[in-house]
Amino acid sequence: MVKIRTIVVSVILSMLFCTSSGADDNGLWEKYKTTFIQADGRVVDFYQGQMSHSEGQGYGMLLSVLYNDKSTFDKLYKWTKNNLMLRKDNLSVWSWGKRANDKWDVIDYNNATDGDVLIAFALIKAANKWQNNAYKTEGTKIVGAIRANLSVKWQGLNVLLPGYYGFTKNDSIVLNPSYIIPPAYKLFASVDDKAFWEKTYKDSITFLGQCKFSKYKLPGDWIALTGKGLQLSSENPQVFGYDAIRTFLYLSLDKVVPYPEGLKEISKIYKQAGSIPAQIDLSDNATKASVSTDTAPSGFYAIYSFAFSKSGDGELSAKLSKEAQDKLTNEKENYYSYTLYLLVKKGNDL
Cα-only R_g, the chain: 20
Contacts of 255 (CB under 8 A, 6+ apart): 310
Contacts of 317 (CB under 8 A, 6+ apart): 9, 10, 13, 305, 306, 308, 309
Q: Helix or strand or coil: residue 232?
A: strand
Q: Helix or strand or coil: residue 104?
A: strand
| 116, 145 contact by CB (below 8 A) | yes
How far does Cα 68 stand from its chain's mean position? 20
| 219, 231 contact by CB (below 8 A) | no
294 belongs to the catalytic site? no
Neighbouring CB atoms inside 10 A of 84's CB total 25
Q: Which residues pair with 230 in a beta bridge?
A: 225
What DSSP string runs through 9-64? HHHHHHHHHS-S--HHHHHHHHHHHHHHB-TTSPBPBGGGTTBEEHHHHHHHHHHH
| 40, 76 contact by CB (below 8 A) | no
The residue annotated as part of the active site, out of 114, 221, 265, 313, is: 114
| 83, 107 contact by CB (below 8 A) | no
Give the integer Cα–Cα distance in Å for 90 and 145: 6
333 belongs to the catalytic site? no
The residue annotated as part of the active site, out of 24, 25, 30, 55, is: 55
| 6, 315 contact by CB (below 8 A) | yes
Q: Helix or strand or coil: residue 73?
A: helix
Catalytic residue positions, numbered? 55, 114
